[in-house]
Structure 1
């Protein structure tokens, strides 16, 4: 049975907004590495606007988790790539809507994303 411990050292900055500074896992059976999920649906359509793209990305993450027999509760690490820092607050709100009280380790990077139409890309590590 997976043992999970969220770690937030008292002598370091405390997390702001639904994540942990570190996540320790023990006694897991498997680890799933999900490639960067892009804001494209199964019909190859890119939604208009950041919020629609972010929700699409999390639907894609969820689809990969389910295909592997896992769920969002198995997520231990999230890396998010934003095309522009102006999307930071919306990103946090939409991510928190998806993750709920789950607080995985997390990194957010502002970067040039492969396709200029994409405003966000998210990669995930999950463990059971």
Structure 2
């Protein structure tokens, strides 16, 4: 399987370590990861955004690991933030997690299901 970035020269550069589109060729399996949130099995939620963001990514990657997949398999990531103030921290942590991997990416500022959650992340991964 090959995941390739689609960044047409006629569009503005995609900033923030993402690509305008993702072409997946030769995929055998697809995983749709439901929105992951910043809580542990016992139901506790960290108070600060950085901890919530790292925990949410941990939970998402744990789902991928269950399918023997990881960051390199991500084709599309959608992040829901509860407030614009978290944009920079979200981008910084996402870039740490993804490294040089650039999936298609959408960020939406919206209400989140639980008031204590500051973000939710869903994804599509392929192999």
TM range (shorter): over 0.9
TM-score between the two structures when normalised by the length of structure 2: 0.98
1:78-122 deviations in whole A, cap 9, x for unaligned?
000000001000000001111100000000000000001000000
Q: Which moved more, 1:84-93 or 1:68-77?
A: 68-77
Distance 1:4 1:122 in 2: 20
TM-score between the two structures when normalised by the length of structure 1: 0.97
| Gapped regions of structure 2 (runs ≥ 5) | none
How many pairs align?
Answer: 127
| Partner in structure 2 of residue 30 of structure 1 | 29
| Partner in structure 2 of residue 39 of structure 1 | 38
| Partner in structure 2 of residue 74 of structure 1 | 73
The 5-angstrom pairing of residues 26-105 of structure 1 reads: 26-105=25-104
CA drift of 1:42 comes to 1.9
CA drift of 1:9 comes to 0.8
Distance 2:2 2:45 in 1: 38
Distance 2:52 2:98 in 1: 16
| Partner in structure 2 of residue 5 of structure 1 | 4
Distance 2:13 2:30 in 1: 27
| Gapped regions of structure 1 (runs ≥ 5) | none
RMSD: 0.7
SS of 1:18's partner is: coil
1:40-68 deviations in whole A, cap 9, x for unaligned?
01221101111100000000011000111
